[in-house]
């Protein structure tokens, strides 16, 4: 099922999410819905708070051409980050049509629980590394615009408020 994606500003996007712990049928259904929602958008990642669920669940697939490579991460943690940084022009499905350069570690090692309840660990580079950090930030109530200066952040927030008013009017 495709779930509606919340648009910034929304208090649910600013709230730190709670740990999941045990993998239940509800978490498996949430992950399946999140993957469907991400591919439909389309996006390369999605975090549970973006669909209004404040739990620590993330999905990603940064393969643009070729067979899909979906990853579901429950309770993900960055356990190592490289000293070298990279700049990527990020977007966000909760901040449509707005992009800005964000500097982050170029490589990260992430540990998480998979849907079989097994602990996983993997190194990510390139877009996968940027996306993993962007999604884990969502779980801590942080958006990519929080890395920008106050004027740019305010300008984007005002555009999103206007977009939400227009969408509400259209029904």
CA 18 → CA 22, 48, 69, distances in Å? 12, 11, 26
Does position 92 interact with ligand K1U (CB under 6 A)? The reply is yes
Report d(CA 58, CA 161) in Å as an integer. Answer: 26
Dihedral sign for Cα atoms in the order 122, 56, 24, 4: negative
Which of 130, 136, 145, 156 is the binder for ligand K1U (CB under 6 A)? Answer: 130
Task: Identify whether 26 is a catalytic site residue.
Answer: no
Among 4, 11, 64, 171, binds ligand K1U (CB under 6 A): 64
Catalytic residue among 18, 135, 161, 166: 135
The residues pairing with 124 across neighbouring beta strands, listed in sequence order, are 108
* 65 lies in the binding site for ligand K1U (CB under 6 A): no
46 binds ligand K1U (CB under 6 A): yes
Which of ligand K1U, Zn ion, none has residue 90 at its interface (CB below 5 to 8 Å by kind)?
A: ligand K1U
Torsion angle (degrees, nearest 10) of CA 72, 76, 81, 84: 40
Q: Return d(Cα 110, Cα 113) in angstroms, integer.
A: 10
Instruction: Summarize as ranges the residues that interact with Zn ion (CB under 5 A).
Output: 92
Residues lying near ligand K1U in the complex (CB under 6 A) are found at 42-47, 64, 88, 90-94, 130-131, 134-135, 138
Q: Tell me which residues are annotated as active site.
A: 135
């Amino acid at each position: 099922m495709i779930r509606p994606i919340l648009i910034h500003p929304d208090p649910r996007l600013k709230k730190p999410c709670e740990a999941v712990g045990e993998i239940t049928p509800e978490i498996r259904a949430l992950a399946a819905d999140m993957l469907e929602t991400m591919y439909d958008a389309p996006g390369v990642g999605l975090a549970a708070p973006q669909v209004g669920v404040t739990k620590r669940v993330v999905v990603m697939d940064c393969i643009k051409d070729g067979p899909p490579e979906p990853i579901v991460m429950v309770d993900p943690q960055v356990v190592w980050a490289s000293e070298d940084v990279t700049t990527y022009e990020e977007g966000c499905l909760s901040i449509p049509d707005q992009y800005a350069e964000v500097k982050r570690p170029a490589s990260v090692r992430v540990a998480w629980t998979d849907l079989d309840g097994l602990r996983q660990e993997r190194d990510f580079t390139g877009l996968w590394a940027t996306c993993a950090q962007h999604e884990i930030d969502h779980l801590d109530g942080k958006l990519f615009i929080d890395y920008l200066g106050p004027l740019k952040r305010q300008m984007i927030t005002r555009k999103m408020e206007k977009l939400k008013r227009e969408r509400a009017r259209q029904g």
